[in-house]
Amino acid sequence: MAIRRFRKLRTLILVVLALGVVSYFFRSDSEVTIEPGSTLVIELEGAYIEASGGSWIANVLGESERTFSSVLTNLAVAERDERIKNVVIVIRPLQIGWGKAEELRGAIRRLQEAGRNTIAYLDMASMGGNIEYFVASSAGEVYLTPAGSLPVVGLAANYLFLGGLWEKLGVTFDVGKAGKYKSAVETYTSEEMSPASLEMANSLLDSINEIFISGIMQGRSMTREEVVAAIDRGPMLGEGLRESNLIDHVEYLDSVLSDLGGPVVEESDYSSVMPVDVGFSPVASIALIYGSGAVVQGRASQTPRGGAVFASQTAAEAIHKAATDSSFDAIILRIDSPGGSALASEHIWRSVEKARGEGKPIVASYSDVAASGGYYASVGADEIVSNAGAYTGSIGVFAIRPVLGGALSEIGIQSKALTRGRHADFLVSSEPLSERGLARLQSLVMDIYGVFLDRVAAGRDLSVEKVDEVAQGRVWTGAQAKEVGLVDRIGGLHESVAAVRERLGLDPEADVALIPFPPPRGFAEELASLFQARVDPMAAGLELLPQAFESMYDWLGEVSFEEPLAIPPFWVDMR
């Protein structure tokens, strides 16, 4: 019966996909005409993936995943397109970090410098809108929809601790860790922050807050005192926001477009405008290789739920192929990863080290997060460019071993372990390690930490002692990491391309092609992955939980707790 149902489901999926393919390829693709004096409307909403392309099948079925690079490309093309007079950026609730928010601000700022009239239109009525307003404040004018709300009330960070939950369930942990700030362990085992973790958390919040306030000061031509006073008056509705100089107007979008006059071009249509159409003429090609999601061993491109994964063999093969491909002049390794397997991170680091031997420049570009294993994997690049608000560093390692004997006893299950070998109790999950076993676990973690320090010291041209001073598992923002020598310059993909130009000896204004590599998966690969995917019974329930829990669930589903891990305390959301 079950097999028959599966066959029916498979047939149904194939029929739906076939219909989707037919409609996809035979859809109307009339050439878009951009008239002089046009207004381009760009809509920013939800999450943006750091990947070479969204799911082909998702696009066919009308559930397209937007890549962050596609948004940056449209804004860059508009920067060159003299037919575009106005750019209206409609902003709805975003699921991005401060790194991507900064890159959007930079792209909007470059539009203004190119002579485009930029307007940010906040189409929101939410309980919090700091990141959305941070992006909007870089535009020439800021509008809010009538009856909308945008509480700009300052930043808050919420950390989660699961120790009390495990205690109620009768689960304890054996832990080994390297670094007093390596507080990912506290997330699992504690009920509150340690003093070191509290120090780090306040430092991160202060750094992000400085980025936030400075961005508003620059975008709205306000003093620090004026920005702080406006934030402290919140939450406010439209009139209060306007009087505080946080917005310029309250108006309906159709009225804004009508007042601007001229033809209106939607982003979906404008995406068909090619860079070559606006005079783009590349003199060099850069392979853009993505490292997104948890760092894991083996080959993979996505999780069972469709999320990104930074798999060691997949990444190593892409790096090697790009390094030996004569059509590429350089490599940008785009990282958006909180880390994961220490061994997988080492394998990716080694592939970067070998690729450098081919003589091509390799620049690492940090998106929202490049911490612990994500930093480890990329620290061997010739140059590291990080967004100021990215989370990075977290040079540390931990190993955690759940002890389930108490939980099993609570439900009437008893166990008896027999071992052969001095440290065979590592394999027994029902009993805690002996003192000798705990010492061996800590020794193992410290050995891996020593290798991590060596890799950073070599990559950053620092002594091991100096690296250890700024390591200890401490997470830094990109701005802080620049000060302590862990990154070379502040910026996003735009600045990473500038770094490549310098290393290739090109003119600062020379055009270069940024080519995602490997290219997006084709239909056959997508279809094969669809039939290999697992059904997740928890997926529906996750929709009801805060975003932090969803991130937690995604990550836990990929990493293995049977090996030492290099991750930051990532269950934090600074908004």
Give the CA dihedral 341, 346, 348, 354, nearest 10 degrees.
-170
Digit-coded pLDDT (tens) for 45-56? 999 999 987 555
DSSP string, 293-356: SEEESS--SB-TTS-BEEEHHHHHHHHHHHHH-TT-SEEEEEEEE--EEHHHHHHHHHHHHHHH
pTM of the model: 0.88
Q: Confirm or reject CATH 3.40.47.10 for domain 281-399+454-566, answering yes or no.
A: no
- What are the domain boundaries of the chain? 35-153+234-277, 281-399+454-566
- Residues above pLDDT 90, as percent of the chain: 62
- What pLDDT is stored for residue 533 in this prediction? 46
Question: Do the domains at 35-153+234-277 and 281-399+454-566 have one common CATH topology?
Answer: yes
- What pLDDT is stored for residue 7 in this prediction? 53
Average pLDDT over residues 125-134: 88
The least confident of 140-144, 405-409, 500-504 is 405-409
DSSP string, 65-133: PPBHHHHHHHHHHHHH-TTEEEEEEEEEEE---HHHHHHHHHHHHHHHHTT-EEEEEE--B-S--HHHH
- What pLDDT is stored for residue 147 in this prediction? 84
Average pLDDT over residues 337-343: 90
* Residue at 145: amino acid letter: T
Query: Is residue 218 pLDDT above 50, yes or no?
Result: yes
Q: Which residues of 65-79 are buried (b: 16+ CB within 10 A; e: fewer)?
A: bebbbbbbbbbbbbb
Query: Is residue 529 pLDDT above 60, yes or no?
Result: no
Q: 384 forms bridges with which residues in the sheet?
A: 364
Query: Is residue 25 pLDDT above 50, yes or no?
Result: no
Q: Residue 3: in which H helix or E strand, if any?
A: helix 2-25
Q: How confident is the model at residue 28 (pLDDT cuts 50, 70, 90)?
A: very low
Give the CA dihedral 297, 50, 479, 198, nearest 10 degrees.
-60
**Strand-by-strand arrangement of the 141-144 sheet:** 249-250, 141-144, 117-122, 84-94, 38-46, 264-266
Query: Is residue 320 pLDDT above 60, yes or no?
Result: yes
Q: 476 forms bridges with which residues in the sheet?
A: 392
On whether the CB atoms of residues 381 and 350 are closer than 8 A, the answer is no
Query: Mean pLDDT over all residues of the chain?
Result: 86
On whether the CB atoms of residues 139 and 219 are closer than 8 A, the answer is yes
Query: Is residue 380 pLDDT above 60, yes or no?
Result: yes
Q: Confirm or reject CATH 3.40.190.80 for domain 35-153+234-277, answering yes or no.
A: no
- What pLDDT is stored for residue 242 in this prediction? 93
CB atoms within 10 A of CB 536: 15
* Residue at 447: amino acid letter: D
Query: Is residue 196 pLDDT above 70, yes or no?
Result: yes
The least confident of 197-201, 339-343, 489-493 is 339-343
Average pLDDT over residues 12-35: 57
Q: Tell me the torsion sign for CA atoms 247, 248, 250, 256.
A: negative
Query: Is residue 560 pLDDT above 60, yes or no?
Result: no
DSSP string, 419-446: --STTGGGG-SSSPPPHHHHHHHHHHHH
- What pLDDT is stored for residue 236 in this prediction? 86
